[in-house]
Amino acid sequence: MRNPFRRSGSPYERRRITPEGETLENVGGRRPFLRIVIPAIIGIIILLFIVSASVKIVDAGYRGVLLKFGAVDTSVALNEGIHFVTPFRDSVVQMEVRTQKTVENAASASKDLQDVTTQVALNYRINPNSAQVVYQQLGFEYGNRVIAPAIQESVKQVTARFNAEELITMRETVKNQIEQQIKARLAPYNILVDTISITEFQFSDQFRKAVEAKVEAQQRALQAQNDLRRIEIEAQQNEAKAVGEQKANVARAEGVRQSNVLQAEGESQAIKIIDQQLRTSPTYLEWLKTQRWDGKLPLVTGGGGSAGTTPFIQIPSGQSTQGNQSVLTSK
């Protein structure tokens, strides 16, 4: 062990040293600094801990439930953002108030005692102003405690009011009634219903086969009605076509008859005019023969052998007016 007294220059001085060879005066000089720094560091740590314990942040889409020594403060729900609370006494639990979704399958019976399995999708959310009450009464398991039973019971009550066929044909009415039932059941628990959707109706195999057979029968009956209607229309078309053809034939016959009558009347009138001219003017016959001669001499002429004999020409006479006959005249 080293002697604590040593000679330092002249005269002798008494000095205390540590086992490591440092003087006790140097060591004593550090103690005031450490006595200040260490408590300051400890104080800062304690202050930071207190500050962190007094500042609470509520995330977006949530509400804060304030707990005082574990008891729920039902008077307030903390909004999104930063909040200052009493440290070591208060704590904050966050409850989600955004729209959430749950899907439930509910087995029930229809009015005509058909087994029905209904799949319901529910969109819901917690009332933001009552998040602390929901936490106090139900905690975080409110979905299993109240929502699922409400869906099951509502679906059973509503489906029992309709036949199996009506559940399909009146789907919108069924959905609205189920939604009203669920809203009424969840309202006392401060849970709001946004929308519900019936994603599927499932029936027994026997019922599905019966529905398919009924649909096929209806389709066959509809097809038979369409065929009958088509036959009736085709018959009406054929009848209309026959009537049209008959009317056309009658019209054509009438036209031919009228044409013949007009032609006969014209010929009769012409004969009358010629006959009248023959009676009043004998020279008219000579003029008429010259008008109708085609310029060719006949091979045979009448008796008398006159070189100037006029060829035979058919000239209507008074007798042709009565009998429509032609006579041959010669000069």
- pLDDT-derived band of residue 8, with 50, 70 and 90 as boundaries? very low
Cβ pair 330, 304 in contact under 8 A:
no
d(CA 112, CA 105) in angstroms, rounded, equals 20
d(CA 130, CA 152) in angstroms, rounded, equals 25
pLDDT of residue 45: 86
Of 9 and 269, the structure prediction assigns the larger pLDDT to: 269
Q: What is the pLDDT of residues 143-153, one digit of tens each?
A: 999 999 999 99
- pLDDT-derived band of residue 161, with 50, 70 and 90 as boundaries? very high
Ranges 14-18, 20-24, 114-118, 325-329: which has the least confidence: 325-329
Of 205 and 2, the structure prediction assigns the larger pLDDT to: 205
Of 155 and 220, the structure prediction assigns the larger pLDDT to: 155
Cβ neighbours, 10 Å, residue 284? 15
pLDDT of residue 301: 56
Residue 139 reports pLDDT greater than 50: yes
pLDDT of residue 20: 56
pLDDT of residue 120: 92
Task: Work out the average pLDDT over 244-268.
Answer: 80
pLDDT of residue 158: 93
- pLDDT-derived band of residue 12, with 50, 70 and 90 as boundaries? very low
State the DSSP H helix or E strand holding residue 24, giving kind and residue range, or none if neither.
helix 24-54
Output the DSSP codes for 37-80: HHHHHHHHHHHHHHHHHHEEEEPTTEEEEEEETTEEEEEEEE-S
Question: Which range scores top for mean pLDDT: 36-50, 78-92, 268-282?
Answer: 78-92
Residue 286, φ and ψ in degrees, nearest 5? -65, -40
Residue 202 reports pLDDT greater than 50: yes
Residue 140 reports pLDDT greater than 60: yes
Describe the crossing of helices 148-159 and 171-186 by its angle, rounded to 10 degrees: 140
Assign 250 to helix, strand or coil: helix
pLDDT of residue 99: 93
pLDDT of residue 280: 74
pLDDT of residue 261: 78
Nearest to 300 by CA among 259, 330, 256: 330
Residue 262 reports pLDDT greater than 70: yes
Nearest to 143 by CA among 155, 133, 151, 131: 151
Of 60 and 324, the structure prediction assigns the larger pLDDT to: 60
Residue type (1 letter), 218 = Q
Of 282 and 81, the structure prediction assigns the larger pLDDT to: 81
Task: Work out the average pLDDT over 83-96.
Answer: 89
Cβ pair 158, 103 in contact under 8 A:
no
d(CA 222, CA 210) in angstroms, rounded, equals 18
Ranges 42-51, 188-197, 202-211, 213-222: which has the least confidence: 202-211
Cβ pair 99, 125 in contact under 8 A:
yes
Whole-number average pLDDT of the chain:
78
Residue 230 reports pLDDT greater than 80: yes
Task: Work out the average pLDDT over 222-243.
Answer: 84
Nearest to 114 by CA among 202, 174, 179, 197: 202
For the chain, how far is it from start to end, CA to CA, in angstroms?
A: 199
Q: What is the pTM of this model?
A: 0.53
State the DSSP H helix or E strand holding residue 319, giving kind and residue range, or none if neither.
helix 318-323
Ranges 155-164, 172-181, 247-256: which has the least confidence: 247-256
pLDDT of residue 302: 54
> What percent of the chain is modeled with pLDDT above 90?
31
CA-to-CA dists, residue 103 to 60, 77, 120, 160, 184, angstroms: 25, 28, 6, 21, 19
